[in-house]
Structure 1
Amino acid sequence: MPDSALKRAAFARGRGHSVYVGRQPILDRDGALTAYELLFRDSPDNRARVHDDVQATAHVVARTVGELGVPAVLGPHPGYVNMSRELLFDDIVHIMEPERFVLELLENITFDEALFKRCAQLRDAGFRLALDDVARLDDPLLAALPSVDIVKVDFLAADHAQLPELAAAVKRRGKLLVAEKVETRDDFAKAKRLGFDLFQGYFFARPQVLSARRASPARGSLLRLMAVLSGEHGMRELEAELKRNPDIVVQLMRLANSSAQTRGRRVSSLREAIAATGTRQLMRWTQLLLYADGRGLPWRSDPLLQLVGTRARFMELAADLLRPGDEAFSDAAFMTGIFSLVHVVLDMQLAEILDKLELTAEIRAAILEGAGPLGALLGIARAAERGDAPAIDASRGALPALDVLTPLMLAKLQFDAAAWFAEHRMEPSLDDA
């Protein structure tokens, strides 16, 4: 097609315009990450000002597939992409791998014979199709159901008194049922009772969605190990502490053998693993293990682990931009990001946890009060995760030096942080460890 969406996207990119690729997680009934919806933005400040659905989607697909790369944006998970009627007939569809992308049919699409035929062609090609923003059980929905695989029900717009009938009708027809715009714990519980398979919404972007878990002995071991790593202890003390925790040693060995420094050779001793990984990197992954421990979820599928890992890396990158070469400040920023969510996994008050970890007053004040440069960076990180532009502006206004964190730079840091987590996550064999 001479005026295809892809060509328009390429033309706009050539003029210096781009669309930031946002991601919203889609979780299963156990809280494991199973997919992302790719979010469309018309500027790098992550504000949703989309005036042309076709061009916005074309930008996102072109950037995901051709510039950033599908593995970096989606990891091992599929991506849900909004598709207008025009896009369903456009050549943009054919640059997406059917096994990696789910095509979401926007709610304003009218089904007719031409569209029914096109849906059949796309499904024959291996694509899964999803109906987006379904709010009621009506004749148009019943007519469309045979042509799709997935139904996404809008929990904000739907009449909750009619949800049981709607969910039952969809499930009877063998369709995957997704609850979207889930805002409250009650909505999540109701959706599970009604048999929904997958879940999406701001509620899941907040750590409190994850069920409370009592601290396990392994977490105590991790806290002791962090104390050794952060002190003036030598290799002998570090080895001794690690040997008390065989599970951590197993993970350390796998981490060391997956690192770039050991490609082509195997690390076989604990001392070699420590040397290959480095105490700084070991400290970081020990911190992350606080979130992974005891969850019963694979490393790459734990949304809380991904959130804390990308937040900490985002803050570290931003700190390095503010104070180039100041490794202590960058490390403090990373730790601030890590421990800003530690109360989610430990059965303790946040202030009590921070006291036990013996964190610096600067990090403690940043987490508890939002004070100082680290507190401002934490505020920006939290706001960026929500796409809350006014809150980002408010945090940037706290310190003149933060002016360097422009919307374009924040978008880049968010992507770089997510790519770092995807690249440095543990090997697949570690997932079941």
Structure 2
Amino acid sequence: MTAAAVDDHGAASHVHIGRQPIWDGDRIHAYELLFRSDADARIATARGASATGTIIHNAFTEFGLTSLVGDRRCFINVTREYLTGQLPLPFDPGQVVLEVLETVDVDDEVAASVVRLVEAGYDIALDDFVVGSDHERLLDVASYVKIDLASAEESVLRPEVARLRERGLTLVAERVETDEDIAYARDLGFHLMQGYALGRPQTLSMRTLGVSQTARLELFGALSATDLDLPRVVSLISADPALALRVLQATNSAQAGLKRRVSSLHEAVTLLGVNRIRQWASLMVLTDVTGVDQETLTGLVTRARLCHTVTEWLGGPGDSGFMVGLVAGIADLMEEDVHDVVRRLPLDMSIAAAVVEHDGVLGQALQSVRAYEDWSATPYFAGRSNGLAEAHLAAMVWSNRLVGEQRG
């Protein structure tokens, strides 16, 4: 199992990520994100490409970067595969600092790749830097250098810190574990500090939905096609609420600060961009998130489809009705407060208001569908009550066909 382990019913799971602050005096300058396999993990059990993929996936499509670090910088360890482009970086330059692990062999390919990343706007940090190592090759393009306070004697460390400061690099003291270490790092001239004396890593956990392997591979295949079929991509995402949830959360991370909201999955896919979704789908394959059962998915998609139909009856946009039904169903499946789910997603105000407050035509449609699903209730929408049974059957047929196509 990965950091996103499925529960016994295969419906919902928990994902975990570690976060440790990097301090600038008495304020937090940034957070380093760390791999965590479970809620009780205190250290990373892996640091390879799979661990990096899990961190990136969880940060950008589960928690959302804003909820993890706010507007602060975010350090993420990256391996050779990510530096050289063998594996994708599904985020733009800006808030994220790429931390080159000390285990990466900085040969000509890595050096050239890092230069290209810097030219594209990414900031680079050198992790556990050691004087005389092959990471010296990256000093001209790096922004941060992280040095373990215990890595060398003071007679070696002091002149080295002075040399790196003269080059304009921001220096981070690592393994600052006592008050004496804090004083020592300040005396040496470090700009930033990280370690137990300032803050231990905190493991954050949240519930999410599992995505089936088949759904991921289908999406990845559709995105990899020479002639991209955008409606097919939207159809694949619509058929799996877990995929839809991740697309929305990834959109929220990518659009942080732009205040753009979406009212349909088609709009979310367009806003996020095919290349970004392709990169994100690659990470999902790498991190091996497991799935939910077909019956559960079909039930959620049926509700969304029925909301689509009833919304059109009421003169509203069907795609938005589908989104309302889908988000409401996701919140139910995750057994999470709907306010918390909506807060994490880049939803148009009309969608959010419909899901949370049952406001407007979209909210009326959702109430109608919920009332119909609960045989003890009187449908809120009565204008075409006799047609609800027929529409529900049609939605079931549509959903069974759609989900069945994706699941094989």
Name the structure where strand makes up a greater proportion of residues: 2
Coarse TM-score class (shorter-chain normalised):
0.3 to 0.5
* TM-score (normalised: structure 2): 0.45
